[in-house]
Amino acid sequence: SPSALNVYLDCRLKFYLQYIAGIKEKEEVSEEIDAGVFGNLAHYSLENLYSGFIQRKKRTQIEEGDFVELRKNWIFPAVEKAIRDFYHLEDEAETKLNGQLAIARDVIQGYVDQVLAYDASTAPFRLISLEKEKKYQTTLQIKTLNGARRVALRGIIDRVDELNGVIRLIDYKSGGDQKTFPDLDALFDRSLEKRNKAAMQTLFYGLIYQGTHPENTAPLKPAIFNLKEVFNDNFDPYLYQKEGRKTGIEVLDYKDYDPDFQTKLKELLEELYNPEIPFDQTEVLKKCEYCPYKEICGR
Ligand code: SF4
């Protein structure tokens, strides 16, 4: 998955501990709704909202006019369902959400409404898939010391839709992810403190989408809906290849980056499967700051 590969690029030891030794992060039981939980709830809310639309209307095409009803009547139930499912609360109306969850619900509603306002401004578009309902996958052939090997690549794309003949591969983010990257090398350069993981992830989506639908000829455009940015007047979810203050080039189609992206990914996987390269600690100490394995690894 792209998250596993991003962990491997960040720190080989962290990848080993998490994905090979299978050591789970400490689960802190907390009353607080942290940024990660908040992001998940916003994701699920948007998924509920659009899957509910498809079920009710029996269509996947969304027109601008549909957003009036969606924004007025369907945000509250979509967010409420996301919270109840996440915390395994009963559906019954009498179980009221406690104070903190009720506040979270109200804040998430604001974000979801803003995403819908943006979506309305770009409508009409056609929903192709939403998060859990579809897994995209492909394989890559790599060379290992024991001969050739096929590696399965898969991922869950938050939303895939089609806008003006372009297939958008959308990732909802709740952090401060950047949407620019200087070049493909930089996405695979583990020595960079600020390697753009979101760009790597959404380009990976291009690869697995095309692998799942080899017949596709439409452009595959990565998009990052950063919830923190949706309130900006000039909100722009698209990726730009850009260095420093220079004017960037918008990423219009994943296929423009293929096969270079595949070549880099193969090199990375060949390194991962090479027994001569140890799962060692990262040299970029900044990556250790929020690492859950800090104590085990002694950093
Ligand atoms: S603390 Fe740092 S070196 Fe240790 S596993 Fe985490 S990221 Fe790697």
If you average pLDDT over every residue of the chain, what do you get?
92
- Looking from the CA of residue 14, the nearest atom of ligand 1 is 5
Counting as low any pLDDT under 70, the low residues of the chain are 27-32, 91-95
* Ligand 1 in reach of 108 Cβ (< 6 A): no
- Looking from the CA of residue 291, the nearest atom of ligand 1 is 6
The beta strands (E) that lie in 14-135 are given as 61-62, 125-130
* Ligand 1 in reach of 11 Cβ (< 6 A): yes
- Looking from the CA of residue 11, the nearest atom of ligand 1 is 8
Q: Is 78 helix (H, G, I), strand (E, B) or coil?
A: helix
Residue among 9, 279, 294, 295 whose CB has most ligand 1 atoms within 8 A, to mutate: 294
Distance 15 CA to ligand 1 centre (A): 9
Dihedral in degrees, nearest 10, Cα atoms 250, 256, 257, 259 = 180
The pLDDT, as a whole number, for residue 135 is 86
Yes or no: say if 201 and 262 are a contact pair by the CB < 8 Å rule. no
Percent of the chain predicted with pLDDT > 70: 96
> Tens digit of pLDDT for each residue in 36-94?
788 889 999 999 999 999 999 999 999 999 999 999 999 999 999 999 888 888 766 55
What is the C-alpha to C-alpha distance for residues 7 and 18, in angstroms, rounded to an integer? 9
Helix spans in 58-214 (H) = 66-69, 75-86, 99-122, 184-187, 197-212
Return the DSSP state at 292. T
